[in-house]
Structure 1
Amino acid sequence: MSYQIITDATADMDWSLWDVCVIPMEVRLNNLTYVYGPNGTIGIPDFYKAQQAGAETGTSQISPYEFNRVFEKYLSQGMDILYLGFSSGMSGTFQNSCLTVDELMKQYPERRIICVDTLAASVMEGYLVYEAARKKAEGIALEDLADWVKALRKQAYCRFVVDDLNTLKRGGRISSANAFVGTTLQIKPILKINEKGCLQMIDKKRGRKKSINDLLNYYHTNSMKSIGGVVVIGHGNCLEDAETLRDAIQEQYPNTKVIVTHVGPVIGAHTGAGMLSIAFC
């Protein structure tokens, strides 16, 4: 029986690389609501331009109603569903998907809907969905793929640097005093997504160059260097820095496939322009 992989717009990646349904998400700029995702109403350049001009930004989780609408589209076609969702440690979106499943299974008892919490966001989530789509193309069954993703998420590495401390301040993640001092001293927080799917600050670097080198060293330390593989680099409107990191990885590890992608507005609303991230297994 055929099945459809579904994810949400927090999974930052070039969506044309996937045979995956991406559910758009709402983004707010100065209390005006836009939709980011396929056929959305705001693009990445316009979002960061407004944010850097001082616009207040925010996001909304996907509602049970929207999950119901998207899931039923495929169920009514006789397809099963594998939903790979935004970390429950950062949003109530995944919980809403589970609530939807309970209702839909009453209407479609013959169908299968499996929701997997990726415990990830942005390029880490995108990496997991990318690999899942590749595995599906090889012919893996629905249940086996769900188990495979759950195993892969334990092996996935993700680290990122935040450049705009004022965005963290507006989101209540650091104090105004810390934002002022950090900006003055060019302090760049280094964060990761921990095993519970939550953001965790793990280090600080002084200066942009040192923070980029930290990401390169992180890959060097944790990757299976002799085998190669796929690395995803995400950037919040800082393509030049992303390309610098890509070139450094490919120079040392020419067998590695490096995908450079944008960090979209849903994540960028909380991390700001200049965010640079890396995800791999």
Structure 2
Amino acid sequence: MKPRKVAIIADTALDVPVDFAKEYDVFLLPISVIFSDGEYRDQIDISTEEVYRRLHEEIPKTSLPSGEMILRTFDAVAAKGYEEALFFTLSSGMSGTYNMLHLMAQEETRFQSFVFDTKNIGLGGGFFAMHAAVLAKEGHDLASIKAQVCDTTKKSKQFGKFKNFEFLEKGGRIGLVTAKIGTLLNIKPIISVNDDGIVYTAAKVKGNKKARKEMVELLSQFLEGHEHFCLSVQQGEAEEEASIMIDLLEERFPGKPLLEGHIGTAFGVHTGPGMIVIGAYIYK
């Protein structure tokens, strides 16, 4: 029996590269970006670069994909003849996208579907969708892809650091006093996402050089005992810093595939320019 065609859908908070999405026919479900002059669909009405440019003037809000966009995506999947669909979402601990998609997918009768909560953000979740897309193109059916990709959320991990506390303070994520003390002491919090899909502080160090070293060490601890993994470096208007992190990762993990990318809108509006995130995905 020929495997049924499987559609792969990822919300744009997972930062699946647009070129990859085109090559592997991944449907990108846009989150909403809300500025004072209107609401925009991420990667359709507004680019990540434009969002970062406007951050210096205004910090927008983000929201889960609209019900209308979800229904349009369902229609597009059905129109292309897909009989099965696998949806990947930003952590349910950060957004209502998973819950909304899960409810709406239950009402869809044109194709069989499964909604996977990655418990992550950015490429930490995007790697799941990319792995699934490769398997789908190879002809695997939904059950096979779920068994290989959706068996656990614990095979993906990211660690990130901020340039400074400016945008966290502006966005109300931390208080003014905390921001000033952190800046004065040159404290660099290293953040990650826990097993429940919630952002937490994994470590605090003084100075940028120590922060880089600690991030690589934390990632090494996560990967201990594993051989089959790929790496990622994402940056938010911080290309020079990203280049340094790439060199450090290639030195620690020689020969491992490494994906470079830009931190997307979902994370970038809260952290601002200068953010660096490194990560790894264990695919076997």
The normalised TM-score by structure 1 is 0.89
Equivalent residue for 1:81? 85
Give the 5 Å matches for 1:259-274. Answer: 259-274=259-274
Q: How many aligned residue pairs are there?
A: 274
Give the 5 Å matches for 1:1-281. Answer: 1-18=4-21, 19=24, 20-37=26-43, 40-51=44-55, 53-79=56-82, 80-105=84-109, 108=110, 111-224=111-224, 227=227, 229-280=229-280, 281=282
**Distance apart, 1:61 and its partner CA:** 0.8
**Distance apart, 1:72 and its partner CA:** 2.1
Partner-residue secondary structure (3-state), 1:246: helix
Q: Which amino acid aligns with 2:41?
A: V
**Distance apart, 1:101 and its partner CA:** 1.1
Partner-residue secondary structure (3-state), 2:19: helix
CA–CA distance in 2 between the matches of 1:96 and 1:269? Answer: 22
CA–CA distance in 2 between the matches of 1:250 and 1:30? Answer: 42
Partner-residue secondary structure (3-state), 2:99: helix
Q: Report Cα offsets for 1:128-183 as digits up to 9, x if no partner.
A: 22222222233322122123222242222221112332222233321111012112
- Is the CA contact 2:87–2:114 (under 8 Å) kept in the aligned structure 1? yes
**Distance apart, 1:191 and its partner CA:** 1.1
Q: Which amino acid aligns with 1:48?
A: Y
**Distance apart, 1:226 and its partner CA:** 7.7
- Is the CA contact 2:48–2:265 (under 8 Å) kept in the aligned structure 1? yes
Q: Which amino acid aligns with 1:69?
A: R
CA–CA distance in 2 between the matches of 1:48 and 1:216? Answer: 26
**Distance apart, 1:33 and its partner CA:** 2.6
Q: Which amino acid aligns with 2:59?
A: E
- Is the CA contact 1:14–1:261 (under 8 Å) kept in the aligned structure 2? yes
**Distance apart, 1:222 and its partner CA:** 2.6
Q: Structure 1 residues 224, 15: closer, same or farther in 2, change over 3 A?
A: farther
Q: Structure 1 residues 174, 102: closer, same or farther in 2, change over 3 A?
A: same
CA–CA distance in 1 between the matches of 2:226 and 2:153? Answer: 21
CA–CA distance in 2 between the matches of 1:87 and 1:227? Answer: 26
Q: Which amino acid aligns with 2:100?
A: N
CA–CA distance in 1 between the matches of 2:256 and 2:228? Answer: 4
- Is the CA contact 1:237–1:273 (under 8 Å) kept in the aligned structure 2? yes
Moved over 3 A (4+): 29-32, 224-229
Q: What 5-or-longer segments of structure 1 have no aligned partner?
A: none
Q: Which amino acid aligns with 1:91?
A: S
Partner-residue secondary structure (3-state), 1:244: helix
Q: Which amino acid aligns with 1:55?
A: E
Q: Report Cα offsets for 1:27-69 as digits up to 9, x if no partner.
A: 13345433222xx232233322221x24122111112222111
CA–CA distance in 1 between the matches of 2:122 and 2:226? Answer: 26
Q: Which amino acid aligns with 2:182?
A: G
**Distance apart, 1:269 and its partner CA:** 0.8
CA–CA distance in 1 between the matches of 2:146 and 2:166? Answer: 39
The normalised TM-score by structure 2 is 0.89
- Is the CA contact 1:192–1:200 (under 8 Å) kept in the aligned structure 2? yes
- Is the CA contact 2:7–2:136 (under 8 Å) kept in the aligned structure 1? no
**Distance apart, 1:262 and its partner CA:** 0.3
Q: Structure 1 residues 213, 249: closer, same or farther in 2, change over 3 A?
A: same
Partner-residue secondary structure (3-state), 2:172: coil
**Distance apart, 1:5 and its partner CA:** 0.1
- Is the CA contact 2:124–2:279 (under 8 Å) kept in the aligned structure 1? yes
**Distance apart, 1:121 and its partner CA:** 0.7
